[in-house]
Structure 1
Amino acid sequence: MRDPGGTDGITGARRPLLDALRGVAIALVMLTHADSATFGSAGMVGVTLFFTLSGYLITGLLVRDLERYGRIRYGRFFGARALRLLPPLLLVLAGYLVIEGAVGLLGRRELLGQTVLAALTYTSNLPLLPHGSGSFFHLWTLATEEQFYLLWPLVLALAWRHRAARAVVLVGVLGSLAACAATIGYEWPDVARVYALPTSWSVALLAGCGLRLGRERAARLLPGTGGSRRALGVALLAVLAALALLPGLSATAAMYLLVIPLTAAVSAALVLLASGPTALPSGPARAPLRLLVALGTVSYAAYLWNLPIQQWLGDPGTPGAGLLGAALTLLAATVSWWAVERPAAALRRRWETPEPARAHAVVPAAPEPAA
């Protein structure tokens, strides 16, 4: 969805299994958009996996800055984020202006300005503000993520200096759950109204942040052999599949206070497993993993295009129409990848070229807390 790519967020090395996880996440989201009656919770699982992976990767980038320079290079961080996010978003908004504006599909031309404004200001998740076309309802996830990344670098830098980064994550998780419970109580009994609020999903982002900060300790909990780790990965994926098949839970408090935190924990374990070896395993699993890696590579654009395309097709909810929507989504995502994302990625790599490290500026990593 929205992250620095298939690197581990630590060394900068390519991790194809992280791309494969991103492929799993976008596949789950597309299943819900294609057939919400059957895959009612798949989108929730996919978004939680995306958020957890994003928190892990982005925190890795920030920690690299702190370890290398003793500070976060905010200009480079936010500039790279803009180069990653905006070109594909502008392309899908151009498509929207043609389809719902010039062509007039769905007949809601009066929402054009609201839709573009909410998309470009990342406010689609905030109540009391106009959000525009329902075709872009899914942009609440981008809003939640980018609002989080306006605050998290500042909080992390301060906590890092006081050697309290992991403690801050723990407080953040508990605070997020408390805030989520408060919003549920406020909206009760119409619990579904909290679905797009940032307080409902920040626990998943923080799970990824905490995993990166405690990666070495968490890694010691993993099985020691490759076969055992693969078995654990399959078991964790089975848990996500089971959660994806649950009936839609968006109107229940249990989804926000229990299922999303559980999904975030399972996702964090998968991210930890996937951030290990750089090569795909050999054997029968290699071919499907390569497909997931390819899907993960175009996952951000696929996420942007999938809901609008399904809405433009009339949101028919039949398997055939769902497959057509998925095919058109992958076509649009592939065009986006070649036309705007790869050129922007080249600029981003130049932007992110490391400066010479200044040894005197480096702040040492915070020590492990006492058990």
Structure 2
Amino acid sequence: MPLPLCLLALAVFAMGTSEFMLAGLLPDIASDLGVSVGTAGTLTSAFAVGMIVGAPLVAALARDWPARGSLLAFALVFSAAHAVGAVTTSFVVLSATRVVAAVANAGFLAVALTTAAELVPPGRKGRALAVLLSGTTVATIAGVPGGSLLGTLLGWRATFWAVALVCLPAALGILKGIPARPRLGRTHPAAGPALRVEISQLRSPRLLLVMLLGALVNAATFGSFTFLAPLVTDAAGLARPWIPVVLVLFGAGSFAGVTVAGRLSDRRPGLVVAAGGPLLLVGWPALAVLAEHQVAFLTLVFAQGALSFAVGSTLITRVLYEAAGAPTMAGAYATAALNVGAAVGPLVAAATLDPVGNRGPLWASGLLVLAALLAALPLSRARRPSRAR
């Protein structure tokens, strides 16, 4: 894979760490800024909303900008937002920095997804996406536990500073590694289709269906991932220090899944979904039923991480293929699908906690995957799309 693609993955690593790190920092933030833990939890919602709204909006605004300049600007804004968040004493300002960071993250990911597809030969979009998303999976393996440990040792502000600093070498790599392209105005002969033409791609039933499937699988993934910690200490009966171990195990599975799927999602996407989807469906209820058996619990956590990201990344790759007629907006559509799932999944899972208990999110994830598989039936019966567009 090209070096510039790895540099993009480094930035995605920093941004993924930021997106998930608050789970271990909320009590300290609440205490320091004089708000309740519940109020501090709205920082997660602020980030999710910024991602969902920011992806299509920023991609539309930046569609005529050179990719290198756009990616550099988004990375620097993201870094600056964390630097401001690290020094503020106001919860309102901190909330605003989370929205700004999320919009920059969404814009970066939307452009990066499109750029990554352009950095590799035709028919290898899936592998390029796997490398890019490996930044997120490594964030769950190393970034989030590391950020939590840093916050415990030096305070939550140190974690914000660390994220800001990690963005700087990524920004330098983008400046040096991403090829410069001249700005293409709308009348330039090499310019892509007009924005209204790209937006009209959303009328495609296949594109909308694949976006829905990606959102549902991602909702299942983050619905259970968000509430893994209580399962570790309650249902599985493991000591509190096992929580980061389980999170790392899930992240290791996700890295394995996205790596394997990256080699199959371009040529055999149907195989990944047909084989991985039913296993994913069975796995979430199995994890709920077998949670008290520690070996089974740990094994299934790894397996569900692998299956979730294998199936999810394959579906997001299909979004890029189905949106081939929207070259500058395809990444935004994929980003929006990812983050609608990331925002909706924890809400659905949280609604099950009172009536069902700590295993409720696992059952909810199973239902979300079932909905995805049922929705995918028309797609499986339809004529297969061309192999590479």
TM range (shorter): 0.3 to 0.5
Question: More relative contact order in 1 or in 2 (CA 8 Å, sep 6+)?
Answer: 1
Point out the structure with the larger helix share.
2
